[in-house]
Amino acid sequence: DGGITQSPKYLFRKEGQNVTLSCEQNLNHDAMYWYRQDPGQGLRLIYYSQIVNDFQKGDIAEGYSVSREKKESFPLTVTSAQKNPTAFYLCASSDRVQETQYFGPGTRLLVL
């Protein structure tokens, strides 16, 4: 089955620690996205990538980093510079022709 997988489902971060969230897709989509969702809020775009080896900052990129070494994978690192990382993180991908974004199941990040 084609789809997007995110791991882990829950992630705990200690103060000063960097953590990496995984996102993999087998939909053969060129574009991939990372969003942050806070309670009662809509989704805010962190980073996006239109093609392998290229990515751009979204609206709230500070304290985050990404890489896009393979078409299927778009990992997100939450660095120690992100002072309020507790949130639900969603990865998405899209075929540029169809325009629709498809979402993974999400990773909930909590700070210890």
Nearer to other proteins, 30 or 72 (CB): 30
Residues that bind other proteins (CB under 8 A): 4, 6, 31, 33, 40-43, 45, 48, 50, 56, 58, 90, 92, 94, 96, 99-106
Nearer to other proteins, 17 or 96 (CB): 96
Give rounded-to-5 percent helix, strand, coil for the chain.
Answer: 0, 55, 45
Minimum CB–partner distance for residue 6 and other proteins (Å): 8
DSSP, collapsed to helix, strand or coil, labels residue 108 as: strand
| Contacts with 101 (C-beta within 8 Å, 6 or more apart), sequence order | 33, 92, 93, 94
Nearer to other proteins, 8 or 105 (CB): 105
Nearer to other proteins, 9 or 14 (CB): 9
Question: Assign residue 88 a region: left if phi > 0, alpha if psi is -120 to 50, beta otherwise?
Answer: beta
| Contacts with 79 (C-beta within 8 Å, 6 or more apart), sequence order | 18, 63, 64, 65
- Tokens 């103060």 locate to 15
Minimum CB–partner distance for residue 96 and other proteins (Å): 7
Minimum CB–partner distance for residue 48 and other proteins (Å): 7
Minimum CB–partner distance for residue 80 and other proteins (Å): 27
